[in-house]
C-alpha cells in the first residue's frame, strides 16, 4: 500500500508538471488482473499496477501486455529477436524487494535481503537452473528471530525463506525440486556471508494454495 500511495503521488506530480506527458506505459500481465479481482474473479492479492493509480490521470494509460500470460510475452520477445537472456529473465516484483520483507521495510533490512538474493541468484545461474525455475523469491522474515550457533557463540538471527517455483503462466505453480547439494551450498553461503541471518528454510507450497510471492 505504501508503494501504491507513493506511485500515485508521483503520477500526480508528473501529470501536473510543465512538461507534457502523453502516456504511461505499464507491463501489466493478465495474471495481475485476475489476482487483483478483475472481471468476474475474486480478489486474491493486490498488484501495484492494477487499480493503484488515481482516476484523474491527465495522460493515457498504455498496457500492451494486459491480456497476455508470461509465456506468451516471452514468445513475442523471441519473435521480435530479443536475446534469450532477456526473454528468459525471471519475473521481479514492480515494488522491488520491499514486498519480500515480512515486517517493517528499512534500508538495513533491504541491504540484508539484497545480499541473500544475490547469493541465490548466482548459485542458481551457476547450476544452469535459470530456465527450469520460473522464479525464486527470497523472503526475509524480518519480525522473526531464532536462536542459533555461529562461530563459538550464540546467535539470534532472522530466517530467510527460499521459494523456488516452476510454472508456465504463473496462474498455477509447483515448488521446484532443487538438488539438495545446491540447497546446502546456498544455505551455507547465506548464513556465513549475510550478517543477521542464522537460518535458511525452503517453502514447498504449490500454487494454489500459496501464491508465488509471500506478500
Q: What is the pTM of this model?
A: 0.78
Taking only the tens place, the pLDDT of each residue in 8-24 is: 677 677 666 666 778 88
Higher pLDDT, 35 or 189: 189
Predicted local confidence at residue 46, as pLDDT: 55
Question: What DSSP line would sit under 139-151, residue for residue?
Answer: EE-TT--EEEEET
Residue 38 scores a pLDDT above 70: no
Predicted local confidence at residue 92, as pLDDT: 86
Predicted local confidence at residue 171, as pLDDT: 86
Predicted local confidence at residue 20, as pLDDT: 74
Candidates 3.30.300.10, 3.90.1150.10, 3.40.50.720, 1.10.3720.10; CATH matching 93-215: 3.30.300.10
SS3 string of 15-79?
Answer: HHCCCCCCEEECCCCHHHHHHCCCCCCCCCCCCCCCCCCCCCCCCEEECCCCCCCHHHHHHHHHH
Residue 2 scores a pLDDT above 70: no
Domain ranges of the chain: 1-68, 93-215
Residues in a beta bridge with 202: 162
Q: What angle do CA 134, 138, 142 make, to 5 degrees?
A: 155
Amino acid at each position: 500500500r505504501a508503494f501504491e500511495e507513493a506511485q500515485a503521488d508521483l503520477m500526480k506530480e508528473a501529470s501536473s508538471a510543465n512538461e507534457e506527458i502523453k502516456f504511461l506505459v505499464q507491463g501489466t500481465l493478465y495474471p495481475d488482473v485476475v489476482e487483483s479481482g478483475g472481471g468476474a474473479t475474486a480478489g486474491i492479492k493486490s498488484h501495484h499496477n492494477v487499480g493503484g493509480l488515481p482516476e484523474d490521470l491527465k495522460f493515457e494509460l498504455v498496457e500492451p501486455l494486459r491480456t497476455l500470460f508470461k509465456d506468451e510475452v516471452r514468445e513475442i520477445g523471441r519473435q521480435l529477436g530479443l536475446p534469450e537472456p532477456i526473454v528468459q529473465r525471471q519475473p521481479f516484483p514492480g515494488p522491488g524487494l520491499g514486498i519480500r520483507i515480512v515486517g517493517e521495510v528499512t534500508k538495513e533490512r533491504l541491504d540484508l535481503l539484497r545480499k541473500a538474493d544475490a547469493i541465490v541468484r548466482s548459485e542458481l545461474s551457476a547450476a544452469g537452473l535459470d530456465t527450469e525455475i520460473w522464479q525464486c523469491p527470497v523472503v526475509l522474515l524480518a519480525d522473526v528471530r531464532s536462536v542459533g550457533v555461529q562461530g563459538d557463540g550464540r546467535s539470534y538471527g532472522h530466517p530467510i525463506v527460499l521459494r523456488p517455483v516452476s510454472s508456465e503462466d504463473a496462474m498455477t505453480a509447483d515448488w521446484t525440486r532443487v538438488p539438495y547439494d545446491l540447497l546446502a551450498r546456498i544455505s551455507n553461503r547465506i548464513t556465513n556471508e549475510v550478517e543477521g541471518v542464522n537460518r535458511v528454510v525452503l517453502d514447498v507450497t504449490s500454487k494454489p494454495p500459496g501464491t508465488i510471492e509471500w506478500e
